[in-house]
Amino acid sequence: MSDDKSIKTILDIQKSLGTSRYAEMIEAARHPASEALRHLYENPGIERMLESIRVNEAAMRAALGPLDEIRRQHESLMRTSLGPLEDLRRASIIDIHSPLRREIEAAQQMLASYTERFHLPNATETARLLEQLRTDPMKDMLARYAQEESSLRRAMERMRTPWLDMQETWRSLKGFAELQSIGSAVQSMPAFDENLSTALRVGLGDWRDAITWPTDVFTNLTARSEFYASLGFNPALTDFPAPAFEQSLDIAGLRRDPPPLITLYGTPVELSDDEAEEEGLARTNAAHDWLQRLETQLRNFIEEKMTHAFGADWHKRRLPTGLYDLWQEKKLKAKQSGGTDWPLIAYADFTDYERVICKSDNWREVFAVSFMRIESVRESFQRLYPIRLDTMHARPITQDDELLLFVETRRLVRVIRKS
């Protein structure tokens, strides 16, 4: 097998394994009985792949060929993707001089076993699964989101790609049902109502306390998933083949219709001069678009609310200490380099929005009526922060990130539109 073909095959396999399946593969590699997988684990391979490609694009080009070929392979991998951490596997590079045949064959066997686990339940099985819900504690989850069984049945019937894990049927069903319930609740319940915020913490985790972010959360997607889990994020919500996960997001109403872009407030960051970086990955690009639109909405919302309450020069008197001077400095630098003269708030960083909204006097006099509870606002922005940071640096994100992005964007935009 040629080096290029070996690389593409192993990348296909890696990005097709979901979070838990990837962990299983690593664990199998550690087991003495799996010599081939252990060899893969001990080589520069999996754990160093993502970091290698980020640090040294030249090495990637040397290994995989011209940029056009890289793009072609990226597109192919996107079309065939199956797992929650597809981008971790896709955006990887391996030592092309390592013997890969046995590793590839072993991984292919694991991948085949994984994909065979999922199927589309027929009408009879769907009815049986729903009958189980009536007598299982899971019915409390449906009640928590005010979700009706009939809407869950319709969601299951609308699925067209295999999503039910035959080996972990109950876990798979619960993840799918809760995902649909989250989508329904985010659209129907008041966006920052305490009942909704409390219900979301059961599946998405409790992010209310100020977070000291471990550095590896932004460079290692496995570490990120583990960190999310430590906050209470339920991995069953996203542990589906990628086509099934994307379809379930659409059925839940979470991924449709990104917020409109308000051009008056510019883009969150300047476009990169690096064509390869700007092209990025499909999922990262989609998230970038959603966040760009969300940020212009947030800027407009804050500007309108604060101007109405305190006048057009509110920035001088109502910003947290040091922020006014920082925005002015960024605006001056942009003008000196020939940039567009945007309104001052267009020079805010993502973390600035929460600081302005949650500043005690601003909160009390302006924003409390819209968001109700200050800890829920902090929680929402903290769930978005890692995604915002990675998408602005053309780094891959996970399906966990996608779910958090769509849920929190929906909630924030509903508040903005209502206000």
Express each pLDDT in 160-206 by its tens digit. Answer: 999 999 999 999 999 999 999 999 999 999 999 999 999 999 999 99
Residue 138 banded pLDDT, cuts 50, 70, 90: low
From the list 219, 411, 398, 200, the residue with the least C-alpha distance to 298 is 411
Distances (CA, A) of 351 to 100, 307, 388: 44, 20, 10
Model pLDDT, residue 338: 83
In this structure, are residues 220 and 252 in contact, taking their beta carbons and an 8 Å threshold? no
Nearest to 380 by CA among 224, 197, 141, 179: 197
Categorize the per-residue pLDDT at 142 as very low, low, confident or very high, splitting at 50, 70 and 90: low
Q: Which one, of 73, 65, 101, 105, lies nearest residue 89 by Cα?
A: 73
The tokens for 187 are 């659209």
DSSP state of 192: T
- CB-CB neighbours of 188 under 10 Å: 12
Environment class of residue 324 by beta-carbon count within 10 Å: exposed (0-12), middle (13-18) or buried (19+)?
A: middle
Residue 370: which residues within 8 A CB-CB, separation 6 or more?
A: 192, 305, 415, 418, 419
Amino acid at 263: T
- Give dist(CA 222, CA 239) in Å, integer: 14
Which amino acid appears at position 212 of this protein? T
Which of the listed ranges 84-93, 258-267, 346-355 does the model predict with the highest average pLDDT? 346-355
How many other CB atoms are found less than 10 A from the CB of residue 268?
Answer: 21
Q: pTM of the entire structure?
A: 0.74
Determine the Cα angle at 402 with ends 272 and 387, to 5°.
Answer: 45
Cα–Cα distance between 75 and 86 in angstroms, integer? 12
- Give the 3-state secondary structure of residue 119: strand
Q: Is the pLDDT of residue 58 over 50?
A: no
| 201 or 41, which is more confident | 201
pLDDT for the residue numbered 70? 38
| Average pLDDT in the chain | 77
Tens of pLDDT, residues 196-253: 999 999 999 999 999 999 999 998 888 999 999 999 999 999 999 888 999 999 999 9
Q: Which of 257, 288, 226 is nearest to 22 (CA)?
A: 226
Is the pLDDT score of 417 beyond 80?
yes
The least confident of 60-69, 139-148, 163-172, 224-233 is 60-69
Tell me which residue of 142, 176, 140 sits closest to 156, measured CA to CA.
Answer: 176
Picking from 129, 248, 241, the residue whose alpha carbon sits closest to that of residue 183 is 248
Residue (of 385, 296, 388, 290) closest to 342 by Cα position: 296
pLDDT in the model for residue 2: 46
> Residue 140's pLDDT is what?
66
Position 47 scores a pLDDT of: 39
Q: Do 185 and 199 form a contact (C-beta atoms < 8 A)?
A: yes
pLDDT given at position 256 = 84
